[in-house]
Amino acid sequence: MSEIIIGAGRLSFDDVAVVAREYAPVRIDEAARRAMAASRAVVESLAGDPVPHYGVSTGFGALATRHIPADRRVQLQRSLIRSHAAGSGPEVETEVVRALMLLRLRTLCTGRTGVRPLIADRYADLLNAGLTPLVHEYGSLGCSGDLAPLAHCALAITGDGALRNTDGELLDARTALELYDIEPVQLAEKEGLALINGTDGMLGMLILAVADLRRLLITADVAAAMSVEGLLGTDDVFADDLQRLRPHPGQAASAGNLRRMLADSPIRDSHRDPGACTRVQDAYSLRCAPQVHGAARDTLDHSAAVASRELEAAIDNPVITVDGRVESNGNFHGAPLGYVLDFLAIAAADVAGMSERRTDRFLDVARNNGLPAFLADDPGVDSGHMIAQYTQAAVVAELKRLAVPASVDSIPSSAMQEDHVSMGWSAARKLRRSIDGLTRVLAIELLTAARGIELRAPLRSAPATGAVIAALRERVGGPGPDRFLAPEIERAREFVRSGGPVRAAEIVIGELN
């Protein structure tokens, strides 16, 4: 696997994902080392200055008014990290912690934080060894950085705290560092603060969410096309000239996917004659899929733009400017990230809600155009997908709760010094649950739509939808008497999570948008 070079150049979304999820190795370039050394010289020049400098010779937060003598500053940094490593609750996922560490390393390598290159090396060492600090769910308010999560990572390179290795084994940090021949560090002036004053956790989760949602929104188009086909809906409403009357780019892309998925469908052709079809319009969950999926896509594009700008940022407080000044600032505030993280949870909930409505139409004999009740083999004896829709509905209800914005909340902290916080970390945590829920909802729609299409036999599906059904059938069985449904839902969920429906369709019709 190729190394990811950390330096002055901006990391890509793919770089973050491959380090976080696939354990790609990292290497710090020489220009970054020179930049770090130059800014470190500025910090060291201030160490003996009788004038207090925040983070170098003062306390922190509301305690910034105390001047700390030189012989107490190593303890100052050690105490900062130990006291701020105050997380609680469940463990945060390994991929999130790795993304957080990588993004903090990237900021250190900008040369704007004043740390020694040695500190950056230790973060690279942990990433390359596959050692992941134990970070907890609760502890960040998304302002003054993701303080507690980042502090747990900083604690690890000093030999305190706990780490997991690639086998998932939990080790105390000093033991783990010894096993992997990594020397613990003693933090000097400014370094503890530089390791915790960033939005790296929020940003890491946003970047991973962007990758996941790009795949899921294409999957939503695939599932919607299958539902339109199986419910004897029309693809006429997805025509390009109709979509261009409302020129949102996401809508155009979604409608294009639907047209291509439904091309050459014998099921669709079977009711194309106006004399044989009495319906004037399909229900909104079918007809308006490009409008809803497209709005979610446009929201995702805006969120990705915010993440891209953050990847160009050097977030710390105080920061070492290009001309050598040490300046306090408010760039650690997580509002830009919190807003879009919340916005994406809203979009995920709405896409899932529309998916559930399409699923429900398949199960109701009054609306499914001739299919058996609940798609059951022998309705009454069999219940078919009746309770699968209950599961969908339960997940959608949860997604609606998760769509309530976190970023509108603020609880003042640090004796009112930090009197407005972003709650961006909380927004990111709930978005991860939203993405998992959307994955499950789309998996159930795919299961249901595939069964509905197959029950239209001897009519055949479109080539693209047929390819998706064939790939799904490698994992779960087709129509028939009731089976234990939970394992099939889980296998369908993994099919969706891994991008299986999109890959299957693209083999037939090329890349989807």
**Domains delineated in the chain:** 4-198 (1.10.275.10), 205-509 (1.20.200.10)
Q: What is the pLDDT of residue 44?
A: 87
- Average pLDDT of span 221-232: 98
One-letter amino acid at 10 equals: R
pLDDT exceeds 60 at position 155: yes
pLDDT exceeds 70 at position 68: no
Query: 3-state DSSP call for residue 67?
Result: strand
For 471, list phi and psi in degrees, rounded to 5.
-65, -40
Cβ(40)–Cβ(111) under 8 Å? no
Clarify whether 123 is annotated catalytic. Answer: no
How far apart are the C-alpha atoms of 349 and 325, rounded to whole Å? 46
Among the residue ranges 61-75, 253-267, 475-489, the one predicted with the least confidence is 61-75
pLDDT one-digit tens code per residue, 180-190: 999 999 999 89
Nearest to 156 by CA among 130, 138, 177: 177
Of 54, 138, 180, 390, which is the active-site residue? 54
Element (H, E) at 306: helix 289-310
pLDDT one-digit tens code per residue, 290-313: 999 999 999 999 999 999 999 999
How far apart are the C-alpha atoms of 338 and 316, rounded to whole Å? 18
β partners of residue 4 = 26
pLDDT one-digit tens code per residue, 316-362: 988 999 998 888 898 899 999 999 999 999 999 999 999 999 999 99
How far apart are the C-alpha atoms of 433 and 96, rounded to whole Å? 13
One-letter amino acid at 179 equals: L
Most trustworthy range by pLDDT among 68-82, 400-414, 421-435: 421-435
Strands 4-6 and 26-28, by their bridges, are parallel
pLDDT one-digit tens code per residue, 354-392: 999 999 999 999 999 999 999 999 999 999 999 999 999
Cβ(148)–Cβ(85) under 8 Å? yes
Nearest to 195 by CA among 92, 95, 126, 93: 126
Q: How confident is the model at residue 52 (pLDDT cuts 50, 70, 90)?
A: confident
pLDDT one-digit tens code per residue, 249-268: 999 999 999 999 999 999 99
Strands 88-91 and 136-138, by their bridges, are antiparallel
Q: What is the pLDDT of residue 247?
A: 97
**Mean confidence (pLDDT) of the chain:** 94
Q: How confident is the model at residue 413 (pLDDT cuts 50, 70, 90)?
A: confident
**Token match 């299919």: residue?**
371
Query: 3-state DSSP call for residue 246?
Result: coil
β partners of residue 318 = none
Q: What is the DSSP string of 460-485?
A: ---HHHHHHHHHHHTTS--SSS---H
Chain CA centroid to CA 472, Å = 25
How far apart are the C-alpha atoms of 205 and 96, rounded to whole Å? 6
- Average pLDDT of span 453-458: 98
**Token match 């129509």: residue?**
479
* Cβ neighbour number for residue 130 with a 10 Å cutoff: 16
Strands 132-133 and 162-164, by their bridges, are antiparallel
Q: What is the pLDDT of residue 135?
A: 98
Q: How confident is the model at residue 424 (pLDDT cuts 50, 70, 90)?
A: very high
**Token match 């997805």: residue?**
238
Q: How confident is the model at residue 506 (pLDDT cuts 50, 70, 90)?
A: very high
